Structure 1
């Protein structure tokens, strides 16, 4: 899989494509999303989801210069599965701003406690926010974030098990938000397609 500047639609062409395929786009994104409790969701990324997001950014910001497009491509490249893993955007959402102010700090570090468990095998723990620079010694803690980027790296045995339809759960071990849910079969079927070589 690859996304290049040459493969992107012009702003005008994407606007037309978006109007014609909105329902299809939303259904694909829904199939690759997992809700975890009331306040967390995971959007598993792929070439298609990233292409949609990239085109949306270019359209919203009216970016047409080659250097602007390449900059955005470089950012999105970091979220593309590389053949042995799943990559996901974690969204922590509170509709009530006051509740968010109180509860989001309590979820600090939750992104480090996510796992996928293929039935009968060891849990695969997420590597979170790998592109962020490490905090300087003695620096004040970062303000809690509502968006994180996760990578789940699977062994060949786990990938083979998922390919033949072995069920899997996804969850979080953070004490403020313990959750453990089965991954829907339709989502697993889509995610198994990420196990292949990919480049951007």
Structure 2
């Protein structure tokens, strides 16, 4: 089973505030390795245990959470983004700077699920699984949580084949290595 963030890893918000700068710097470095820009409007952030732990800590800090049930809810919510064994979890940001155009494009791009793919060294590709709770019949949310089934294949690129957004990009060697580490196929770098 893929490692999830455990309750014991979450600091109280005061202790976290004391250590936040160092934790944030490390999490941002992890995010930089896992961020993939796809055209002008799509950015994917492949998540791992460190990036998810950081998100949970930030929520605990922002909300000054002390109730165990609230902290457990954040753990359950964010751990789901990681996916399971042989899967890569990803946050997709649909970036539309023009506030007036944003709702129009989010309606027009409602068909994006089924058109966003991870590509592999063997030439195959796998569609992302979108969370149905983040969309309705009319439009997408501008933030999506995705799961890419990978199995034992090696990811090499990302592509979207929705005609209006059609674009592909290779994964950098550093991103490929980070994703293989996240899949447990390489030892984590020190």
**TM-score, normalization by structure 1:** 0.83
Counterpart CA distance in 1 for 2:146 and 2:182 is: 15
Correspondence for 2:188: none
Residue ranges of structure 1 left out of the alignment (5+ in a row): none
SS at match of 1:193: helix
SS at match of 1:87: strand
Counterpart CA distance in 2 for 1:7 and 1:155 is: 28
Counterpart CA distance in 1 for 2:22 and 2:49 is: 20
Correspondence for 1:192: 180
Cα 1:194–1:47 change in 2 (3 A) is same
- Are residues 1:37 and 2:39 paired? yes
How many correspondences in the alignment?
183
Contact kept? 1:111, 1:148, Cα under 8 Å: no
Counterpart CA distance in 2 for 1:13 and 1:98 is: 41
Cα 1:151–1:103 change in 2 (3 A) is same
**TM-score, normalization by structure 2:** 0.87
Within a 5 Å distance, the mapping from 1:139-154 to structure 2 comes to 141-154=137-150
Counterpart CA distance in 1 for 2:28 and 2:164 is: 31
SS at match of 1:151: strand
Cα 1:121–1:143 change in 2 (3 A) is closer
Counterpart CA distance in 1 for 2:50 and 2:151 is: 24
Counterpart CA distance in 2 for 1:59 and 1:142 is: 34
User: Who wins on radius of gyration, i.e. which is larger?
Assistant: 1
SS at match of 1:102: helix
Shift of 1:21: 4.0
Counterpart CA distance in 2 for 1:187 and 1:174 is: 24
> 1:154-182, CA deviations, whole angstroms, 9 ceiling, x for partnerless residues?
233x1xxx3xxxx7111111112001100
SS at match of 2:101: helix
Over aligned residue pairs, what C-alpha RMSD do you find? 2.2
